[in-house]
Structure 1
């Protein structure tokens, strides 16, 4: 599978974070637009499969196709840069600052949202024959998802917000693991297999992904779901973005960086008794 050792792919993670900071505005927006659009199509595909088969696991098994494609094509998701770019800052790469990191995040957020929203409009037209009829079964299900993941959380107040936040943390723990997994192999098959596993897990578990939600919730609003733009922002997108940052940086970026890029000093090995007797030193 052309496996790359952790010490090597962590260096690639830092290099990738640095490269994204200095990428031109044009390229950043194009790559993030396409990433948001492809992931939105994949989400629409997964919901369609789930509705038609009645089996959520089938939809989850197939959803990673979009994630794998967009990373093989070199496009950028917000959740991925939440993990990679801070490593370049922590590693003190020249020219990488908090300001340049936030600029990169802002551009990718805008590009991802534009791509996802474009697909949301296209699919809403398809689901309603140009808004001339009520949404079909798939469109109705997207509306149900939007209501459940906004009003469903707000119903529980602070406990609902905590649940939402933790689902977002767990989501980017898995999604960023998928981003890193693409660097674990030099073969296409190895990259796809490694990426597929954590993405399947996050989608089936119903964790909160900020870019997937950029499709699901605007799509639900376009299709007449019973929640507002403010519900979407306060009770989903903003807490999800914050949770995605925490999950990606804490459980993926920092842990890999701390143990593979800044490895702690090795402990002294105990002297075997036979060697100690010959050397005349006490054995441990």
Structure 2
């Protein structure tokens, strides 16, 4: 079958969460490094398309190619393990503990950041001819993105922080839906189509994705963005991570687990 019923693919979600917790440190770091690097490259691709065409929708429509590639290759994003890893604990799988979940999240964060930072350095070199001249149009755009989504939030104070957090929540609602969509089909085309739709929504809507931002903001700093590394951490990365955790786990992981895996007792008619 090309399509799996909800009860079947939610079982695969719990199995996947368990496998993340049992994975070796080496494999976790390698897979998360590659995921961060590929998603960063996709972000650079999408920004390049937007600058060159003047059409943000085209960039958003093509950004999911990176997301699809990394999941077909079996790599791991922090946003995905936020949703999947805790399900193994909720299901009381042998050896699944909250300590194991935190270990997995920490390793994936480190790997994703390292991979995204690698591509940020590569792209900064490309956009400046090895830092020998001013950034080109795409490099300038990356710098402005970093400014608007750090000091731009800070200018609104608490309201800006709330907006940032909600954008993080909405982002991983969509991204984790894409992670799950890959489990709904047994064909490559079915997986790709399922992942494409929600990821395109998140990117075009400007929601905040912690791993994409691990590329955008370090690259922006290297390309002359007028914000600091602490601006990035406080007014983007850390609140985005929390928002991504809340969005993926509550709106995707727990809701699907509760209604398709641990279904409530059926009503008795009469």
- Distance in 1 separating the partners of 2:100 and 2:81: 12
Shift of residue 266, structure 1, vs aligned partner: 1.1
Equivalence for 1:72: 72
- Distance in 1 separating the partners of 2:126 and 2:91: 47
Task: After superposition, give the CA deviation of every residue in 1:239-265 in whole Å (9 maximum; x if it has no partner).
Answer: 000000000000000000000011011
Instruction: Give the secondary structure class of the aligned counterpart of 1:172.
Output: helix
Greater mean deviation of Cα atoms: 88-97 or 157-166: 88-97
> Could you say what the CA RMSD is over the residues aligned between the two structures, in angstroms?
0.7
- Distance in 2 separating the partners of 1:262 and 1:106: 28
Shift of residue 268, structure 1, vs aligned partner: 2.0
Equivalence for 2:264: 264
Equivalence for 2:228: 228
TM-score w.r.t. structure 1 length? Answer: 0.94
Shift of residue 94, structure 1, vs aligned partner: 1.1
Instruction: Give the secondary structure class of the aligned counterpart of 1:264.
Output: coil
Shift of residue 269, structure 1, vs aligned partner: 3.2
Instruction: Give the secondary structure class of the aligned counterpart of 1:268.
Output: coil
Equivalence for 1:59: 59
- Describe how 1:25-174 pairs up with structure 2 within 5 A: 25-174=25-174
Task: After superposition, give the CA deviation of every residue in 1:146-173 in whole Å (9 maximum; x if it has no partner).
Answer: 0000000000000000000000000000
- Distance in 2 separating the partners of 1:237 and 1:97: 26
Task: After superposition, give the CA deviation of every residue in 1:4-31 in whole Å (9 maximum; x if it has no partner).
Answer: 0100110100000000011001100000
Q: Does 1:198 pair with 2:198?
A: yes
Q: Does 1:23 pair with 2:45?
A: no
TM-score w.r.t. structure 2 length? Answer: 0.99
- Describe how 1:183-222 pairs up with structure 2 within 5 A: 183-222=183-222
- Distance in 2 separating the partners of 1:199 and 1:208: 12
* Paired residues, number: 270
Instruction: Give the secondary structure class of the aligned counterpart of 2:225.
Output: coil
Shift of residue 224, structure 1, vs aligned partner: 1.4
Runs (4 or more) in structure 1 with deviation over 3 Å come to none
Shift of residue 267, structure 1, vs aligned partner: 1.3
- Distance in 2 separating the partners of 1:108 and 1:63: 21
